[in-house]
Amino acid sequence: MTTTAPTAAPIAKIAFIGAGSVVFTQGLLTDLLAFPDLRGLHIALHDIDPERLATAHGAARHLTERAGAAPYTTVTAHPERRAALAGADFVINIVQVGMGASTRTDFDVPAGYGVRQTIGDTLGVGGIFRALRTFPVLRALGADIAELCPDAWLLNYTNPMAMNVQYLTAATGLTRVVGLCHSVYWTLRDLSALLKVPYEEVTYRAAGVNHQSWMLRLEHDGADLYPRLDELIASDEQLRRRVRVDMYRRLGYYPTETSEHSAEYVPWYLRHDSEIERLRLPVGAYLGIVAENVAQYERTRDALAAGEPLDAEATMEYAPQVIHSITTGTPRTVYGNVPNHGLIDNLPAAGTVEVPCLVDASGVQPTRIGALPAQCAALNRSYLSMNDLVVRAALEDDPRSVRQAAMADPATAAALPVERIWELCDAMVRAHGDLLQPSLRATDLL
């Protein structure tokens, strides 16, 4: 179904896979439509949920009309993925396999074994099984892209980011794959506000892995901002009650993700009641975010049905910037998650790393960083080692690697003895059932 008939061939076709994540889709569209030189896009929306697809389609039509782009922009809705992908120049992946019900399983089952999680979408038991139920969809998506739009750029937002990008490149052979996350951008915005320095005037560089990169350089007018941050932390007890600040004080480099995320990737915090209290960690926080996402979706659906205006706002996400740069040749730097082909010397070559990337008409070009500080690389290697075991489990049809990944995960290993880790993995396999590839559904492997 098409909202308007284009007067000429579109300047680019963008396929949204998982467009039923309506709030996120609206934000990306708002950003895209704000570029005057991107008039003439074809936006192709796909979702397997008919109601969510219809809502996304209605929201996209509303936003194009509000932006004055309706005469130039084509919006189509496709319940079948291949139709959305055919001839696409860009594919934005925002699927969430299993939706809220699976997310609740990711929290409830481990909680029954005494494993605490805050977000559960990157590492840990939640991250492992979110990846394993997403991989079959990624393999099929990659095969469709290779056939229907082999030159398209696949811009992935679906978590666990690093595992998904590693699996996509290994399982599908696609090379134009980049994972996009806003954590570096918002960390810098937050630090700029905290230090009372204009964001636009800060010189910075970060690198590492998704949700655990490090602010390697932080300067204003040529002066290092870290001493000023040290003074502020020393004078503010409440700042010292944040996990990422605690990590910074001990490691010397500020991590680029929230305290809720950061607590899950190390063994030091969630295992201990005293640390949860000291650092004010909200166990199970992501379940509240899921509920709010559903409520936002329902408000959007109901507003469209009532003919009311939508309150979508710009997001400053990277995907619209990448599309604009490649389409128009406008150079800019974004942070991307890409295979570590010599980009960070002291991290595994097969892992997915997060580095600054130049984007222009030539595509996404990652920046070589060299070596990370040893203490930062040590944590990143632990993270990537667990990722590698999860990806290997799927590629090699090896259910034992799933358990070994959980054994290697720092927070899970801190919480449980090894026998209970295997029992927990069995319980998660049974709970997620048919969402996993058949070869990984085995239990009782000892």
- 154: which strand partners? 91, 177
Tell me the C-alpha distance between 276 and 241, whole Å.
10
Query: Where is 44: in which H helix or E strand?
Result: strand 41-46
Judge contact between 239 and 232, C-beta under 8 A: yes
Give the residue from 166, 165, 142, 160 showing the smallest Cα distance to 152: 142
Judge contact between 183 and 256, C-beta under 8 A: yes
- 335: which strand partners? 356
Name the phi and psi angles at 338, rounded to 5: -140, 165
78 catalytically annotated:
no
Q: Which of 42, 46, 57, 182 is catalytic?
A: 182
- 34: which strand partners? none
Token pair belonging to 436: 């996993």
Name 374's Cβ contacts closer than 8 Å, sequence gap at least 6. 346
Token pair belonging to 173: 């052979």
Query: Where in 98-156 does DSSP place strands (E)?
Result: 153-156
Tell me the C-alpha distance between 22 and 300, whole Å.
8
Give the residue from 142, 199, 152 showing the smallest Cα distance to 172: 142
DSSP tag of 434: G
Sign of CA dihedral 87, 316, 206, 212: negative
Judge contact between 300 and 26, C-beta under 8 A: yes
Tell me the C-alpha distance between 141 and 172, whole Å.
9
Q: Identify the burial level of 157 via C-beta atoms within 10 angstroms of its C-beta, where 0-12 means exposed, 13-18 middle and 19 or more buried.
A: buried
Region at 423 (left for phi over 0; alpha for psi -120 to 50; beta for the rest)? alpha
Query: Where is 413: in which H helix or E strand?
Result: helix 410-415
Opening angle at CA 247, ends 381 and 256, nearest 5: 70
Token pair belonging to 405: 């990944």
Catalytic residues: 182
